[in-house]
Structure 1
Amino acid sequence: MLTGGLKSVGIYGVAAAAEIGGCFAFWAWLRLGKSPVWLAPGMASLAVFAWLLTFIDSSAAGRAYAAYGGVYIVASIVWLWAVEGARPDRWDTLGASVALIGAAIILFGPRR
């Protein structure tokens, strides 16, 4: 299970980067006044994100997506700091920690 768990964590990490990058391309176009050319790589990145989630070892898509939600929250806080230069506050950190614990419970909890 550990090897599968590490694989899932890796897939979720790359998927989060793809989703956040794709969503940021739309943000840059609409909110930062960037060229519509940003939309093409953004859409490609979002397609890669969706494709990657199909590799999560889960009997149900909804469970894989629910667990991903916690990873996405943590990755978004990392993006906030690394790309946007805004340091997360204690509430960002606490919320991301709670979400990641919830994701781990969903993904790694014992199933019948």
Structure 2
Amino acid sequence: MAAKSIALFALAALFEIGGAWLVWQGVREHRGLLWAGAGVIALGIYGFVATLQPDAQFGRILAAYGGVFVAGSLLWGVALDGYRPDRWDLIGATVCLAGVGLIMYAPRG
């Protein structure tokens, strides 16, 4: 179950971060409405992917996904925008991912 959940978090991050990046490119980098429109579609797909998580608790899923979003956004910036995170970025992302692990995968009674 954890493997499926992790895969879904990665897929959700791809669509949400990618969608936001496409909108950014369309608006801020003046690439046009096609880029922004593709971003809006990707963001909609993100919303659907999030519903596929095995855990049924909306608040838990979205809270945990926040940590995935933080780390994924830094990785996206490195891969597509030439961003170089500093040690504080890396420490912060690590803390966020530790939070994801606690929220999603800690044993519950």
Following TM superposition, where does structure 1 have runs of at least 4 consecutive aligned residues deviating by more than 6 angstroms? Answer: none
Q: Say whether 1:71 aligns with 2:55.
A: no
The answer (yes or no) to whether the contact 2:24–2:36 under 8 Å persists in 1 is no
Q: Which moved more, 1:23-32 or 1:76-85?
A: 23-32
Which runs of no fewer than 5 residues in structure 1 stay unpaired? none
Which runs of no fewer than 5 residues in structure 2 stay unpaired? none
Q: So what's the TM-score if we normalise by structure 1? A: 0.92
Q: Say whether 1:43 aligns with 2:4.
A: no
Q: Which residue of 1 aligns with 2:101?
A: 104
- Superposed CA offset, 1:59-89 (max 9, x none): 3101001011111111111011111011111
Q: Secondary structure at the match of 1:83?
A: helix
Q: Say whether 1:33 aligns with 2:30.
A: yes
The answer (yes or no) to whether the contact 2:23–2:37 under 8 Å persists in 1 is no
Q: Which residue of 2 aligns with 1:91?
A: 88
How much does 1:39 deviate? 2.1
Q: Distance in 1 between matches of 2:78 and 2:36?
A: 23
How much does 1:103 deviate? 0.9
Q: Secondary structure at the match of 1:111?
A: coil
Aligned residues: 109
How much does 1:110 deviate? 2.2
Q: Distance in 1 between matches of 2:73 and 2:36?
A: 20
- Over the matched positions of the two proteins, sequence identity in percent amounts to 37
Q: So what's the TM-score if we normalise by structure 2? A: 0.94
